[in-house]
Amino acid sequence: MLSMSRKGNCLDNAPTESFFSHPKEELLRHIRIRDFKKAVQIVDDYIHFYNYDRIQLKTKLTPVEFRCQFV
């Protein structure tokens, strides 16, 4: 993965690397994708699942529920 952080600042990439580690571990290791359209659909479905259905252990809420608390 290409680093997008500023020179000398390793913390810039932490949120992005944290997010991408989830689909790699939870999704992509368990299925074989042979078609680009299917891959796009699977990633879109996972992003929706991650934001709306997946309960975060730390907050006991989905990311959308957590963000809506502050609105």
Position of tokens 């730390």?
Answer: 58
- Comparing CA positions, the residue from 71, 29, 22, 30 lying closest to residue 51 is 22
pLDDT band per the 50, 70, 90 thresholds, residue 20: confident
**Domain range summary for the chain, segments of one domain joined by +:** 20-68
Residues 9 and 32: their CA atoms lie apart, in Å, by 35
Judge whether residue 9 has pLDDT over 70: no
Report, as an integer, the average pLDDT of 5-12: 64
> 């479905």: which residue's tokens?
45
pLDDT band at 8 (very low <50, low <70, confident <90, very high): low
